[in-house]
Structure 1
Amino acid sequence: MINKIINNEEVKRPAVNILVSCIAGILTFNIVKVSFLGAVLIAASFFLIHFFIYSKNFIAVIIIFFIASYVNSMVYYNFYTNTEDVFKVEVLNSKSNICEIGRQSFKLQGKLPELKDGGKYVLYGRLERKADYEKGIVGAIEVSKYSCLKNGFSGSSNEKQDEFYNRMKKYIGEDGTALVCSAAFGYTKYLKDDENTLMSKFGIIHVVSVSGFHIAVVYSIIERLLGFKVALLISFIYTIFSGGKSSTWRAFIMILILKLSKKLYRNYDSISSLCFSAILLLCYKPYYLYDIGFELSYLSTLGILLFYNKLRRKFYKLPELISDTFCISISAQVFSFPVATLSLNNFSPNFMWGNLFLLPMFTAIVILGNIAFLLMFNDKVFTISAYIIKLFIVALQGGISFIDQFSLKVTTINFNIVYGYCLILICIYMYSKGYRKAKAVAWAVFVCVIVSLYSFQTKVTLINENKTKALLIEQGFKRILIIPNLTGYSYNVINKKYYPTESLKWVNKQPYVEGNIAVMPKDKEKEIVIVNKGKSYIVALNNQCYICKQYYDIIKTSGKGELISSKKASDVLSDTIIESEGDNGD
């Protein structure tokens, strides 16, 4: 047993410290490739903190796991023993041309067959080591020749799922079947972007991609019917069948530890179990540390474990269904909110309605979808199952239409809010440990965030990125983005960079009035008219800011796509004042 000593007291959860040491080892390995000094600082800070807090015996254990994690990452990215030009691979992601050899991932390029997810191939070519640490890519295989092999379990599963889709769509349509396939066993091949966006809007995107929720549903039902041994076996098969995502392995490992602890008469600690599952997954695939699904799964679960019961005690007067939904939804957001916002650059305030009204119907679809899949061999039973599923799909569509009437818009979150939120969380923790001054620090952080979000003077930013023109109007707490298309890659890039509170479609010769300013894009003349009712405003032009004191300004775009002011304005930009044609507002 690990000697768990901390200042002559027992360490309650050594698995937490071991997990942190594994994460530090992975980060150190990845950063040393970019900055040796940065890697040294991370390692030194990590060891100094443990040196001042823990005993020498426990520090020795931490160092062992740190080194083991570092070496494991080195082995994953640097040690591939195949010296020949023949590679036996299994396709992991056909759209991105990603394959696996053992636990290692490779990028495929060159002369490729029509790849299928889960398909096995023999490739002839050359390996180029070109590591991508965030995606876990060891290198690229330049393929010159190939041959197909018989599908393994994953490939055969995908073929069966395709067969299920083709049969089920005759009864409930393509969109409904795509939703059933993704919800029941994580087969998202046929799921459209619009449906993904809709699920994100209501905060239940995890439902259409197999997660711990699905494992919990499958295990609980099988255990009641056939006992825990059969339930564990079927859950294990289901985890592999559904793609073996990190969130499903996390749930399976935690259930396994929980059940074994009861059989072995051991105490079960949920946080230690959570950390242990993370350690196992990071040992197998170190790049999971950068996987958004891995991060959100563990952070959401950690929030539920720490805060769910506390919130239940606070809201015990609410009906049980509402109380459970509210407490789980809020506790899951505590730690996952910053990561989700920084990664996705938006936040949906509708997650409560999605969990309350839509999740129960998805639970039924998960159960019925898997039953229908298992009974495909019986046409009559399959048909009955399909019509029952159709009823829930119709009910789901009705629920979505109902919630959509009072749902709020998905908002883009300013990164200052996220950073302030994290600092306030730290202050709350410090305050709970007896540091009373942390309360004042939290209020100071809150005020600083509010001030950073407020624009004291009207500002118009003229944007020209990725061959897309756009305008950003800032007034008070509002940030209005006017852009030709509200979807697509260019919009996502601009939206993430400027985090508007509202986005409007750019329409030629249509005035946009916001507070004391009116803007009218005129594409045919390649100019933008700005009318100001106030005394002055700021224009951000070609990454430089200028004060505008006139009532009427015209900003033109050059042939090169650059934004310039018209006539007299271009002559005086160096004086930081735009003077263009029009009446003087002063």
Structure 2
Amino acid sequence: MHVLVLAVGLFIISLYLLSVQAFWVNGCIVLVLAAGAVRFRKEMLAVTVLMPLLAATALSLYYRPQIPEEVRVVKTYSGSIVVQEGFRKYLIKGDLFDCYEGDLVRGTFQVEFLSPGGSGYVGNLVVREPQITADFRSRLISFKKKVADELVHRYGYDNGSLMSSLVLGIKDDISERREGDMKSMGIMHILSISGFHFALLEILLKKMRLGRKNIFFMGLYAYFISGIPGYRTLLTITYRSLGYCFRRDPDPVTGLFIAMFIQTFLSPYIIFKIGFLLTYLSTLGILLFHQKIVSAMHHLPSSVSLSLSLTLSALSLSFPIIVSLSPEFSLGVFIGNMILVPLYAVFTYLSFLGVLLLPFQGLAFLLLPFVDVFSDFSFHLGNFLSQYMLALNLEMLAHSYVYFVFLVGTAFRKGAVKRGLLLVTLILVLGLPWGTTLGIYNNFGAPFIRITQNFKNYDIMDYRIAESGYIVLRKEEELRLASMNLKIRPSENDQEIPHIFVNEKELALPRRMDYSGGVKILHKYVFWNERVMKVK
């Protein structure tokens, strides 16, 4: 297993460095590892040389300059269409035509090929005389959308949209209030198909005692859903089935790394996708640390220790990615996973049942009261809890997470448990929303203002670009912060920082900002009595 982990890790590192054209860096890493292998473990030399070659092969196969004969529509936007040939993605701009997700497109293609990168597009595609056809996969995608529409029709707009998100992965029409509450409670992962949903399905199938047919139904559902978690599950199920066929006990970590290798080899660009990183790191954290954390919490009630251990193990490896994307970390994730996730688990089972009962209108009608109760209860409880959840600003960990883990880990290994706990507590206390502050943030290129007062954060965004969970700024607003009068006025351009006045004096802020791959703070002001101090 250790050899496999090293091999896949080196493959992904090489894939990243070759994608960003850091050839010299990749070469130096390979030389250092090869020298170490020659000196200490000669059997690792082949792995050290082979993995970068496989990474180069994967990129050359994916980005090869070959004009497609037929493409499938993956996503449609107002000014572009994303299409795919096998695993290779193309972008169509201009000369658009009417089509739907899943449609097959034939015609005369012209391609402007692109260099490898995070977008994953092989090239920009122009289609002349497009012909739209359909196959089994197209009809399956169309069927999934019809099921989603039928859920909305049978169970109501809010309930049906939530059910579609939980079991079909279609989350276009989720209530903004519910989505905002779930975000503040740190349980947004429930709305996207993930290992959580496959685990629930596996538990249900085991209760039905279907034996090895479980693998067939799990694979069928994974193919139906598709996406990164679906393909990962499909690959791990295949690995598990092969293990049973050869009468070997399949190791889940080995299966996870095999799935990771296959997915990244076929689609090299997904190493730049946050969903891919979070999916695999969270799953790996659970596989590696869940049992150890549960054992360390033996003095707690089993329901509490199980929930906390799952949360902590899932965060153990994914936390650096989360902090790098957004410095804010909600403490509600622990309460949310303990209280709200079980409610949404029940609602997910009801959603599965609701889909199965769609052909039987009478039985679906009997299910409606249960759907209403659990939907309303989870919504109102989430709304109530979100009002009292603190969010930590862990920006200081974004670039020092490794040092922090090293210090805490060393303290615990040396037996200095109290010092380790003191260090963790100090970081958490420093991250609390102390005092009265005003911050200007860059959210993937979109500006927003955060006002902190009385241990609460209030995020304000221009109405033209506002996302769910934000307070919408439509006109000039006046606020009272400490002893200061604050005015916030929308800017002339939706992508510009709003005008901010403190006691009628405008803060000297640049209007424009560059795109940022995450949430980053640009400016921060602290209000103390009648003084305004710029700390960033």
TM-score of the pair, normalised by structure 2 = 0.79
Supply the distance in 1 between the matched residues of 2:31 and 2:421 (Cα, whole angstroms): 28
Amino acid at match of 1:61: V
* 1:18 aligns to 2:7 (yes or no): yes
Matched with 2:517 is: none
Matched with 1:188 is: 171
- Tell me if structure 1 keeps the 8 A contact 2:285–2:317: yes
Supply the distance in 1 between the matched residues of 2:147 and 2:448 (Cα, whole angstroms): 45
Matched with 1:373 is: 355
Map residues 23-38 of structure 1 onto 2, 5 A cutoff. 23-32=12-21, 38=22
Amino acid at match of 1:420: S
2:73 partner SS: strand
Map residues 75-474 of structure 1 onto 2, 5 A cutoff. 75-80=61-66, 82=68, 87-95=69-77, 97-131=81-115, 133-153=117-137, 155-225=138-208, 227-242=210-225, 244-258=226-240, 260-261=242-243, 264-408=246-390, 410=391, 413-414=394-395, 416-428=396-408
Amino acid at match of 1:30: S
- Tell me if structure 1 keeps the 8 A contact 2:408–2:423: no
- Tell me if structure 2 keeps the 8 A contact 1:179–1:191: yes
Farther-moved stretch of structure 1 (91-100 vs 254-263): 254-263
Supply the distance in 1 between the matched residues of 2:427 and 2:343 (Cα, whole angstroms): 43
Matched with 1:5 is: none
Amino acid at match of 1:219: E
Residues 348-395 of structure 1: per-residue CA shift (max 9 Å, x gap): 221122222222232233333233323433322333334433333233
Supply the distance in 2 between the matched residues of 1:48 and 1:131 (Cα, whole angstroms): 28
Task: Kindly state the Cα deviation for residue 311 of structure 1 after the two structures are TM-superposed.
Answer: 1.7
Supply the distance in 1 between the matched residues of 2:61 and 2:215 (Cα, whole angstroms): 32
Supply the distance in 2 between the matched residues of 1:173 and 1:111 (Cα, whole angstroms): 38
Residues 91-130 of structure 1: per-residue CA shift (max 9 Å, x gap): 1122362111111011112222333221222243421113
In structure 2, the CA distance between the partners of 1:474 and 1:49, relative to structure 1 (3 Å rule), is: farther
* 1:40 aligns to 2:9 (yes or no): no
In structure 2, the CA distance between the partners of 1:151 and 1:374, relative to structure 1 (3 Å rule), is: farther
Supply the distance in 2 between the matched residues of 1:172 and 1:80 (Cα, whole angstroms): 47
- Tell me if structure 2 keeps the 8 A contact 1:474–1:480: yes
Q: Which 5+ residue runs of structure 1 have no aligned equivalent?
A: 1-11, 33-37, 496-501, 533-537, 546-550, 555-586
Higher relative contact order (CA 8 A, sep 6+): 2
Amino acid at match of 2:400: G
Map residues 548-559 of structure 1 onto 2, 5 A cutoff. none
Matched with 2:42 is: 56
Task: Kindly state the Cα deviation for residue 26 of structure 1 after the two structures are TM-superposed.
Answer: 0.6
- Tell me if structure 1 keeps the 8 A contact 2:282–2:318: yes
1:146 partner SS: strand
Task: Kindly state the Cα deviation for residue 72 of structure 1 after the two structures are TM-superposed.
Answer: 0.9
In structure 2, the CA distance between the partners of 1:284 and 1:380, relative to structure 1 (3 Å rule), is: same
Q: Percent identity?
A: 18
Supply the distance in 2 between the matched residues of 1:200 and 1:280 (Cα, whole angstroms): 32
* 1:518 aligns to 2:484 (yes or no): yes
User: Runs of 4 or more off by more than 6 Å in structure 1?
Assistant: 430-434, 439-456, 458-475, 477-482, 502-507, 551-554
Amino acid at match of 1:16: V
In structure 2, the CA distance between the partners of 1:31 and 1:366, relative to structure 1 (3 Å rule), is: same
In structure 2, the CA distance between the partners of 1:342 and 1:207, relative to structure 1 (3 Å rule), is: same
Amino acid at match of 1:315: M
- Tell me if structure 2 keeps the 8 A contact 1:215–1:252: no
- Tell me if structure 1 keeps the 8 A contact 2:166–2:193: yes
- Tell me if structure 2 keeps the 8 A contact 1:480–1:504: no
- Tell me if structure 1 keeps the 8 A contact 2:290–2:310: yes
Task: Kindly state the Cα deviation for residue 513 of structure 1 after the two structures are TM-superposed.
Answer: 3.2
In structure 2, the CA distance between the partners of 1:80 and 1:433, relative to structure 1 (3 Å rule), is: farther
- Tell me if structure 2 keeps the 8 A contact 1:184–1:365: no
In structure 2, the CA distance between the partners of 1:50 and 1:488, relative to structure 1 (3 Å rule), is: farther
Matched with 1:558 is: none
- Tell me if structure 2 keeps the 8 A contact 1:325–1:355: yes
Task: Kindly state the Cα deviation for residue 481 of structure 1 after the two structures are TM-superposed.
Answer: 8.5
Q: Which 5+ residue runs of structure 2 have no aligned equivalent?
A: 491-498, 512-521, 524-528
Amino acid at match of 1:422: V
RMSD: 4.5
Amino acid at match of 1:518: M
Supply the distance in 2 between the matched residues of 1:163 and 1:522 (Cα, whole angstroms): 44
Amino acid at match of 1:20: G
2:110 partner SS: strand
In terms of Rg, which structure is larger?
Answer: 1
In structure 2, the CA distance between the partners of 1:71 and 1:168, relative to structure 1 (3 Å rule), is: closer
- Tell me if structure 1 keeps the 8 A contact 2:71–2:104: yes
- Tell me if structure 2 keeps the 8 A contact 1:130–1:138: yes
Map residues 519-558 of structure 1 onto 2, 5 A cutoff. 519-521=485-487, 528-530=501-503
Task: Kindly state the Cα deviation for residue 433 of structure 1 after the two structures are TM-superposed.
Answer: 8.1
- Tell me if structure 1 keeps the 8 A contact 2:87–2:267: yes
Residues 200-227 of structure 1: per-residue CA shift (max 9 Å, x gap): 2222222221111222222332244353
Matched with 2:59 is: 73
Task: Kindly state the Cα deviation for residue 296 of structure 1 after the two structures are TM-superposed.
Answer: 0.5
Supply the distance in 1 between the matched residues of 2:229 and 2:420 (Cα, whole angstroms): 36
